[in-house]
Amino acid sequence: MDYTLLGNTDIRVSKVCLGTMTYGDQNTQADANDQLDYALSQGINFIDTAEMYPVPPRAETVTRTETILGHWIKTKPRDSFILASKIAGPRRGMHWIRGGPSGLDRDNIRAAVHDSLQRLQTDYLDLSYLHWPERNVPMFGQYQFDPLAELDKDGNPIAWVSMQAQLEALDELIKEGKIRAIGLSNEQPWGLMEFLRIAKERNLPRVAALQNCYNLMNRGMEFGMTEVLYREGISLMAYSPLAFGHLTGKYVDDPQAVGRVTQFLGYAQRYKKPGVPEASKRYTALARAHGLSPTQLALSFVYHRWFVGSTVIGATSMTQLAENVSSYFVKLNADVLAEIEQIHLTMMNPAP
């Protein structure tokens, strides 16, 4: 396994990161223990979770993932892995997360980290993300910015907690030893640059990592954000590299195959868009024409992009996890990469 530094920090993380968002719903404690032990045995030292997991989020399962992970953590030396979790921001309908946080203010940020540490049975997080921006931005399958969403029903601007206040709260936690580094997730170029500007001007913590969606069907990161990552030294932690299973080929072979798409109907609107089935067929056919599995093609592409620091993978079975990890050692040749670009140029980003 290869390793890289997390942004501008001295935190060394594996190029493959184990995601845990199925623990507590699709996976049991025993499943989780097996996956985590296997990941460490393969040189993966980076584990990703969130207070709202498992996904899809529901009142009856929220926080289970961190609790399950905590049972495993207490049996391991804490310095044997790097642990990241995420702080949920305000979002309509998710009242079961800390009573439905009104914003990413100091009290909510501190409560989120405190509660995560308790469930995870650890004294600190190596990386703490803001799971999504508080302000109005397109995310989770939305792709158009809507200025009208800045206003309430009476036409007045909706207030949101300033980025400076968010950074000040995170700075306190760093100084207290509760977190080592900070990251953003589901963020846009303006937001990342604004966080960086304020941090520089106010001597506040600098963002080290960005966790955004990136896969063969969603390459929006390449429109503007990659330059920011390069010039500012930010690590991209790519999530959803298999596009909710659409890039494994299983739904091409059988649209009713068992998986998150068929188990959680109506979830993940990003992959309900009309171009997704045809893109799945074309990338699946490309992989098989070159003697690769669709999973190998999709994962290798993301794993080895120059701007990807680490890729977050997840699995519901050990067979899936083993293929995901071994795919890191598959390198796509120039012909395959050229054919990927041809598909991309003819049906660009069907799942923004």
CA 330, 336, 337, 341: dihedral to nearest 10 degrees?
-140
Residue with token string 């097996």: 34
Residue with token string 């001597």: 203
Catalytically annotated residue among 3, 23, 38, 53: 53
Q: Which two tokens stand for residue 176?
A: 């207290």
241: Cβ contacts below 8 Å, ≥ 6 apart? 214, 215, 247, 298, 299, 302, 303, 311, 312, 313
CB 313 within 8 A of CB 241: yes
Catalytic residue at 53?
A: yes
Q: Which two tokens stand for residue 230?
A: 């390069």
The angle at the Cα of 219, spanning 318 to 7, to the nearest 5 degrees, equals: 75
Residue with token string 């845990």: 20
Paired residues of 185 in beta bridges: 211
Question: Which parts of 22-126 fold into alpha helices (H)?
Answer: 29-41, 64-73, 106-120
Question: Which parts of 9-105 fold into alpha helices (H)?
Answer: 29-41, 64-73
Q: Which two tokens stand for residue 129?
A: 């993300």
User: At 182, which helix (H) or strand (E)?
Assistant: strand 179-185
Active-site residue numbers?
53
